[in-house]
Amino acid sequence: MENRKPADIDASEITDKRVYLNRRLFMRGAALAATTAATGLLYRKLNPQPVETTKREELAGFAKPTSDGFRANEKLTPLADITNYNNFYEFSTDKGAVASESKGFVTKPWTVSVEGLVNKPRSFDLNKLLSFPLEERVYRLRCVEGWSMVIPWIGFPLAKLLEEVEPTEQAKYVAFQTLYDPKRMPNQRTGVLDWPYVEGLRLDEAMHPLTILATGLYGEVLPPQDGAPIRLVVPWKYGFKSIKSIVKIQLVAEEPPTTWNIQASNEYGFYSNVNPEVSHPRWSQATERRIGEFRMRETLMFNGYSEQVAHLYQGMDLEQYF
């Protein structure tokens, strides 16, 4: 694939591989595929005004930070690590085995039903979801177990989807649900968690511009192990809030139940904001190890997104609401 000219790439192949990405991102993918100067020139001739200017190499080393927090100024975690060190209990509790256990996970057809306290409840076909304008966001992901990654997600703000269904005045929280289908998610045959996996956000957290629904990463469609075809990403919260393979989103009036809180309520609270000052009962949350590094890093309040999100929790006791 890398050595072929864009003209050699079969149209159906492109549709299949890139169907999740909007034109802007697809163009960048095509540009990256053109490795020689000659094909690069041909590409530029055929496409005189490419909008996307970020090259993968730039992203990997020198992603410039943005004041809105959309782009972290840190080296990206290699794709191989992002796709081979996963938490996704529906497939395996072994982080190294999720990739192989989820291989071939069928995500077509797929619908996400958005319902509850809304004026316009609606089922969104995956194609409709993929037609939302996609953006690339480089976010830190901090797992509650103490490791972290820096991931170039592709997705759209959750707020865009919620605006379409018009939450009513009564809606105060958003509840999310993963697919329940033990035939396709074999580890759901075990009782390791209460299925389906569920998560929740307060409505203002859900509407925050940093909160996205991701459909891709590293310029490619989201691989099964990372939550295909659509998963939540809330960069200032511990990784487990980022629920994968979502099929249902409900607007509700009361704080909804969440999987890890059901599992161990003294260890995992509803908010689960990254907070180096509040320890997990069995370990400190003050430091983390970036995957691929050996040294420990200091964990930052709200995972480094204080400037953007601290106001959401003003006046709240974060030890009580952990």
| 121 preceded by a cis bond (ω within 30 of 0) | no
Binder among 39, 87, 188, 211 for ligand MTE (CB under 6 A): 87
Residue 98 interacts with Mo ion (CB under 5 A): yes or no = no
Classify the C-alpha dihedral 164-167-172-174 as positive or negative.
Answer: negative
Residue 243 binds which entry of ligand MTE, Mo ion, none, with Cβ cut-offs from 5 to 8 Å by kind? ligand MTE
Instruction: Compute φ and ψ for 112, nearest 5 degrees.
Output: -115, 115
Residue 167 and residue 241: Cα distance in Å, rounded?
21
Residue 214 and residue 242: Cα distance in Å, rounded?
10
| 257 preceded by a cis bond (ω within 30 of 0) | no
Contact 137, 152 (CB under 8 A): yes
Classify the C-alpha dihedral 259-308-322-137 as positive or negative.
Answer: positive
Contact 236, 168 (CB under 8 A): no
- Give the per-residue contact string, 244-273, with ligand MTE (x = CB under 6 A; - = no): xx----------------------------
Residue 110 interacts with ligand MTE (CB under 6 A): yes or no = no
Nearest residue relative to ligand MTE (C-beta): 239
SS (H, E, C) 203-263: HHHHHCCCCEEEEEECCEECCHHHCCCCEEECCCECHHHCCCCEEEEEEECCCCCCHHHHH
Which residues 105-164 are close enough to bind Mo ion by CB under 5 A? 143-144
Which range binds ligand MTE by CB under 6 A, 14-22, 236-244, 271-279, 302-310? Answer: 236-244
Taking the least distance from each CB to ligand MTE, the nearer of 117 and 154 is 154
Classify the C-alpha dihedral 33-39-43-46 as positive or negative.
Answer: negative
Taking the least distance from each CB to Mo ion, the nearer of 259 and 308 is 259
Binder among 39, 77, 83, 87 for Mo ion (CB under 5 A): 87
In 3-state terms the chain splits into helix, strand, coil percentages (rounded to 5) of 30, 25, 50
Taking the least distance from each CB to ligand MTE, the nearer of 70 and 176 is 176
Residue 86 binds which entry of ligand MTE, Mo ion, none, with Cβ cut-offs from 5 to 8 Å by kind? ligand MTE
Residue 215 interacts with ligand MTE (CB under 6 A): yes or no = no
Residue 175 interacts with ligand MTE (CB under 6 A): yes or no = no
Say if residue 113 is exposed, middle or buried (CB neighbours under 10 Å; 0-12, 13-18, 19+). Answer: middle
Taking the least distance from each CB to ligand MTE, the nearer of 117 and 228 is 228
Residue 77 interacts with ligand MTE (CB under 6 A): yes or no = no
Residue 6 interacts with Mo ion (CB under 5 A): yes or no = no
Least gap, CB of 113 to ligand MTE (angstroms): 16
Which candidate, 115, 119, 114, 211, places its Cα nearest to that of 159?
211
Q: Total binding residues for ligand MTE by CB under 6 A? A: 17
Binder among 195, 240, 268, 270 for Mo ion (CB under 5 A): 240
Least gap, CB of 53 to ligand MTE (angstroms): 27
Residue 227 interacts with Mo ion (CB under 5 A): yes or no = no
Binder among 116, 167, 239, 304 for ligand MTE (CB under 6 A): 239
Residue 236 interacts with ligand MTE (CB under 6 A): yes or no = no
Residues that bind ligand MTE (CB under 6 A): 86-90, 141, 143, 178, 197, 226-227, 239-240, 242-245
